[in-house]
């Protein structure tokens, strides 16, 4: 079999200049099919056997695979890409499942896959041996639509693969009435019809010349556009949607990108740049950047009944047991990246049937009132620290000045280096030559009172070892290990000799006894702390700080693993020898954060920086907030427009440290933006 991902027209140079330019743009768009279909093959290999997807009726131990005929080589993607593409597959399938459930006995549905690429959805749902598709039996037919060059490859694979051609039937014939070039095929329940969707007239002819799409109200017409109309000028894409909306009993499922907080929001900026660099710029999103604008779009184009949300809303609607199963199949510690990705993709299901009731309607996200701003000075610095998910400590240098020591993290691979960051006018860093033995490389640990606590190797390999670094001799000393390995935990200094440890993820469920631990550095012992005057769930990815002068601490946000929910609370606490005493709890939607950092700026106010949320995408106005613990009042600290638009600023995996009485520094961190590339942050000095 020829390589299905090789595009034979790429080598052609027979076009005139303008034709070549247009053709190249088309080929770049077709090229996005290669990456997408390979990622879906990775999902098929990983999840299908473990989750019982597409079980064969001829052998219950066998899983039917469909992507493998188009991507014969085994493909392995990152955990976040795997989870994201599982969600994309689930998005389309869940909409189709909801439609087929509403069909009357005399109704059937035809699915028109616009820009289908090598998507084998038709073969999956038409396969009589696929038990997962039993509900579609004798109720569904398919029309695949895409560029002629791409469909020609797909049809050839189809003809060369008995396992696929058997599914659609042996009556394969060229439908010259539909396509004069003879590139399409048609069977009783499957057609492949070449069409350039940029030409609305050609698409209109396709609709008018296809018997099953003619004005039969008993046929439910379902049009799917999974990131296909996104590359077209919105005027052209709107014409396609409008033409389908004019057909009776039509439904439209669209999955494409969003920029809900504008083109300069860090993930949006990176996503747009990625597609532009690959000569397949996203165009519809410039006109329709939000869920609400997409709803208005479809309602104006003939689809008055619509249901839409982002993919994170869809993920949260997946049954908890399924989400837990997915977590068990591939251990996962990329929640911030997943949040960012899923907030940037739309799932919209619309119909021109006003009586249609959606099985699962998206709930409108809770609107958050804008906070009153407090404007402070931000200064971009020269510190170019390309490290994520390390840990830092503020220490006294030999000349009594302050400096930051940064340990571990990844760049992109895990490291055990300790870096010395000098806080002079020209911020710089150098590696400290610490004496061996060195702590093993790790990420998602803490570094408090010069003690490195826990962390992880892979997401399923938490570390329980503890190491102390002597400031004078630069000698590491291994201390007594934690009772269990943990990462994504918090630790704060409650005295020069004591560290309070809270929460985190572990290979075991953290008991109420081990939720809070106090580590006595001199005695090298751990004491379990009870919670008094309230309750705090065991949270991973929370933020914690403690004011030793007042004996008051704060915990913000975090993920409750057992319930897969995220805290929107700020817990104010104090502690004695054996108890963490809850003094107050403040709830607010903007406190629902994972991976944030917090810092007491004075006795009454806590600075909250970054992280991600399952409920909203943070912007330059609410990424940083200030909480008055006494008044229980929140204010936003806007990031200056110039910094937001000019620099990369993913407030993920970063560090927050006070460097003097009037300034804090935000440094390190960044993100791997799904499949759109990795980004490191600019370091900022903020006056308070």
Task: Give Rg (Cα) of the chain.
Answer: 28
**Which residues, 6 or more positions from 114, have their beta carbon under 8 angstroms from its beta carbon?**
145, 146, 197, 223, 224, 225, 228, 229, 240
Are 614 and 339 in contact by the 8 Å Cβ rule? The answer is: yes
338-349 b/e (C-beta count within 10 Å ≥ 16 → b): bbbbbbbbbbbb
Measured CA distances, 468 to 398, 421, 445, 484 (Å): 19, 19, 13, 18
Residues labelled as active-site residues: 88, 231
- Cα 272 versus chain centre, distance: 16
DSSP string, 438-497: PPPPBBS-EEETTEEE--BSSTT-B---EEEE-TTT-BEEEEPPPSS--BS-EEEEEETT
Angle, to 10 degrees, between the axis of helix 200-209 and the axis of helix 234-245? Answer: 20
Query: Within 10 A of 449 (CB to CB), how many other CB atoms are there?
Result: 21
Distance separating alpha carbons of residues 133 and 127, to the nearest angstrom: 7
Give strand pairing partners of 256: 346
Tell me the pairing of strands 446-448 and 451-453. antiparallel
Q: Using alpha carbons, select from 285, 289, 303 the residue that is nearest to residue 241.
A: 303
Please tell me the distance from the alpha carbon of residue 573 to that of residue 532, in angstroms, as a whole number.
10
CA distance 529 to 580: 6
Residue 620: partners with Cβ closer than 8 Å, 6 or more residues away: 264, 265, 638, 639, 641, 644
d(CA 85, CA 116): 16
Instruction: Specify whether the CB–CB gap between 526 and 483 falls below 8 A.
Output: yes
* Distances in whole angstroms, Cα of residue 144 to Cα of each of 44, 118, 519: 21, 10, 63
Q: How far apart are CA 118 and CA 40, in angstroms?
A: 11
């Amino acid at each position: 079999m020829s390589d299905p991902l090789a595009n034979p027209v790429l080598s052609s140079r027979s076009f005139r200049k303008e034709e070549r330019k247009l053709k190249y743009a088309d080929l770049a768009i077709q090229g996005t099919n290669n990456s997408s279909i390979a990622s879906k093959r990775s999902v098929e290999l990983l999840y299908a056997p473990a989750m019982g997807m597409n079980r064969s009726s001829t052998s219950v131990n066998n899983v039917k695979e469909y992507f493998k005929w188009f991507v014969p080589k085994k493909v392995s993607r990152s955990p976040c890409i795997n989870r994201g593409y599982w969600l994309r597959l689930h998005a389309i399938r869940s909409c189709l499942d909801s439609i087929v459930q509403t069909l009357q006995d005399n109704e059937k549905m035809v699915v028109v896959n616009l820009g289908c690429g090598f998507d084998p959805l038709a073969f999956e749902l038409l396969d009589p041996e696929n038990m997962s598709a039993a509900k579609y039996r004798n109720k569904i037919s398919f029309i695949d639509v895409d560029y002629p060059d791409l469909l020609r490859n797909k049809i050839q694979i189809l003809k060369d693969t008995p396992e696929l051609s058997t599914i659609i039937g042996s009556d394969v014939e060229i439908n010259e009435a539909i396509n004069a070039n003879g590139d399409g095929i048609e069977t009783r329940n499957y057609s492949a019809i070449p069409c350039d969707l940029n030409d609305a007239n050609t698409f209109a002819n396709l609709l008018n010349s296809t018997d099953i799409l003619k004005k039969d109200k008993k046929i439910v017409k379902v049009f799917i556009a999974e990131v296909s109309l996104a590359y077209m000028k919105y005027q052209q894409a709107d014409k396609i949607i409008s033409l389908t909306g004019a057909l009776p009993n039509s439904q439209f499922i669209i999955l494409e990108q969003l920029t809900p907080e504008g083109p300069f929001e860090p993930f949006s900026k990176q996503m747009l740049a990625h597609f532009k660099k690959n000569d397949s710029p996203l165009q519809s999103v410039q006109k329709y950047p939000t869920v609400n604008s997409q709803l208005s779009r479809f309602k104006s184009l003939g689809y008055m009944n619509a249901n839409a949300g982002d993919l994170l809303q869809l993920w949260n609607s997946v049954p908890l047991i399924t989400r837990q199963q997915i977590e068990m199949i591939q251990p996962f510690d990329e929640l911030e990246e997943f949040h960012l990705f899923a907030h940037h993709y739309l799932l919209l299901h619309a119909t021109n049937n006003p009586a249609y009731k959606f099985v699962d309607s998206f709930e409108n996200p809770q609107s958050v009132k804008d906070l009153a701003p407090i404007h402070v000075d931000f200064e971009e610095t020269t510190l170019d620290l390309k490290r994520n998910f390390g840990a830092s400590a503020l220490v006294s240098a030999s000349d009594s000045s302050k400096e930051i020591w940064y340990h571990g993290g990844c760049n992109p691979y895990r490291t055990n280096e300790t870096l010395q960051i000098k806080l002079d006018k020209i911020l710089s860093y150098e590696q400290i030559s610490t004496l061996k033995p060195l702590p093993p490389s790790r990420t998602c640990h803490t570094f408090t009172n010069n003690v490195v606590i826990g962390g992880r190797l892979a997401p399923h390999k938490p570390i329980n070892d503890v190491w102390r670094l002597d400031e004078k001799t630069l000698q590491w000393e291994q201390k007594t290990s934690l009772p269990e390995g943990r990462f994504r935990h918090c630790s704060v200094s409650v005295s020069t000799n004591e560290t309070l440890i809270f929460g985190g993820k572990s290979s075991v469920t953290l008991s109420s006894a081990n939720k809070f631990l106090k580590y006595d550095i001199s005695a090298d012992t751990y004491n379990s702390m009870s919670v008094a005057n309230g309750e705090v769930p065991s949270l991973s990815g929370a933020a914690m700080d403690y004011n030793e002068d007042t004996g008051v601490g704060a915990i913000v946000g975090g993920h409750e693993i057992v319930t897969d929910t995220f805290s929107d609370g700020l817990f104010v606490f104090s502690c004695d020898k054996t108890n963490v005493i809850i003094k107050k709890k403040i709830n607010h939607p903007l406190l629902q954060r994972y991976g944030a950092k917090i810092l007491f700026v004075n006795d009454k106010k806590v600075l909250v920086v970054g992280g991600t949320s399952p409920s909203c995408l943070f912007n330059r106005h609410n990424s940083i907030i200030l909480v008055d613990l006494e008044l229980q009042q929140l204010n936003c600290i806007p990031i200056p427009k110039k910094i937001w638009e000019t620099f990369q600023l993913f407030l993920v995996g970063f560090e927050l440290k006070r460097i003097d009485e009037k300034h804090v520094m935000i440094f390190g961190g960044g993100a791997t933006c799904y499949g759109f590339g990795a980004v490191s942050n600019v370091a900022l000095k903020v006056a308070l």
